Copies of this chain bind each other. A is one copy, B any other.
Amino acid sequence: MLNQTPNLDQMFQALADPTRRAMIDRLSRGPASVSELAKPFDMSLPAVVQHLQALEASGLVSSQKVGRVRTCQIEPAALSLAEQWLNERRTLWMQRLDRLGEYLEATAGEEEPK
């Protein structure tokens, strides 16, 4: 089943937890079942599942259940959305810096010529 409207609040919230980032990291190497995802963590299964729910609610991960195993995978479009948000703000700032630099260069030596 496809998921939620991707929402930046939930996405960044999901990414703020090291366990959840480790899960995304694992999933970036390919799909995995809930118990495969749980294996590396010293944590109860329900806790892992709650993290997974946070990831799914955010849209970053999707899953489907076949028989009794739930298989999870990354939702690259959602990752991309968060990425873009950051990129837009950063480049806006950097463009401003560039213009400021050009201005300073252009007006250099007007008040105090070398």
Interface secondary structure of A, over-half rule? helix
How often does this chain occur in the complex, in copies?
2
A9 touches B13 (CB 8 A): no
A83 CB, min distance to chain B CBs, angstroms = 4
Number of interface residues of A (CB under 8 A): 33
Listed in ascending order, the chain A residues whose CB lies under 8 Å from chain B are 8-10, 12-13, 15-18, 21, 24-25, 27-30, 73-74, 76, 79-80, 82-83, 85-90, 92-94, 96
Q: In the docked arrangement, what's the CA distance between A24 and B28, Å? A: 28
Q: In the docked arrangement, what's the CA distance between A90 and B83, Å? A: 10
- For A85, the chain B residues whose CB sits under 8 A away are 21
Known: A12-B12, A18-B9, A29-B92. A83 touches B86 (CB 8 A): yes
